Structure 1
Amino acid sequence: MDVVLLAGRILFSALFLFSAIGHLAQADAMAGYAKSKGVPFAKPATIASGIALAVGGLSVLLGVYGEIGAALLFLFLVPTAIIMHNFWAETDPAAKMNTQISFNKDIALAGATLALVWVFAQDPGLTVTSALL
């Protein structure tokens, strides 16, 4: 089962690592979107979130204090869902639906990160470090 968990970690982490690349490589465009959503200091926030995504994604992928990396991703996902995907503020039905899908995805992923915190705390095998928590 260790191999199954490792495969899941690889697939899960890929989302965050590719997103980190987008945040860092396209910081200006992403900061413009963040600014339109009312994020203060949009460009530094975009870069910081890209770094958090990279660190959290690599931590989960490699099993280096994976529970800390998963918790970091949780701390990214919940505020992002609320601030960036506030579907309740949308008036256009299509925009509202698309924004709600993104909100739901982030909340579901946040739930998965909490499950990974627990998994890493149980000494799941195929990790570089043991759990800190």
Structure 2
Amino acid sequence: MDIVVLIGRVFFVIVFLFSALGHLTQPKAMAGYAQSKGVPAPTVMVFVSGIVLALGGLSVLLGIWPDLGALLLVVFLVPTALLMHSFWQESDDEARQNEMIQFNKDIGLAGAALMLFAFFAATPDLGLTITGPLFTLV
């Protein structure tokens, strides 16, 4: 089972690590998009969100307090869904549909990250990790 969980962790974090790379290597483009969505202090928020994505993704991938890493991803995903993909504010049908898809993706990934948090926090011996969980759920 350890190897299956490790493969799942690798697959799960790929999207977050590539996104972190984009946030940290293309901050002007990302900040421009964030600004167009009304995000306050977009340049700072792009940098902060890139760091959160990298830390959360690497934590889950490497198994260094992976429960905390999963929570970091939830902390990124929920506000991102609400601020960046507010489909209910779109008047154009195609734009509304695209934003709804992105919103649902972020909420779905947040749910998966929350389940990973519970899994990691409730499983003292995770196998194939560097540390155990930071939190404990009994």
The two structures have a TM-score, normalised by structure 1, of 0.98
CA distance in 1, matches of 2:57, 2:100: 24
Unaligned runs of 5+ in 1: none
Match of 2:115 in 1: 115
CA distance in 2, matches of 1:62, 1:120: 13
Match of 1:67 in 2: 67
Q: Deviations over 1:89-118 (max 9, x none)?
A: 001000000000000000000000011101
Amino acid at match of 1:7: I
Amino acid at match of 1:52: V
The two structures have a TM-score, normalised by structure 2, of 0.95
Q: Report runs of 4+ in structure 1 exceeding 2 Å deviation.
A: none
Amino acid at match of 1:33: Y
CA distance in 1, matches of 2:58, 2:11: 12
Number of aligned positions between the proteins: 133
Unaligned runs of 5+ in 2: none
RMSD value over aligned CA atoms?
0.6
CA distance in 2, matches of 1:41, 1:114: 27
Residue 81 (structure 1) shift:
0.1
Match of 2:18 in 1: 18
Structure 1 range deviating more: 118-127 or 75-84: 118-127
CA distance in 1, matches of 2:107, 2:58: 20
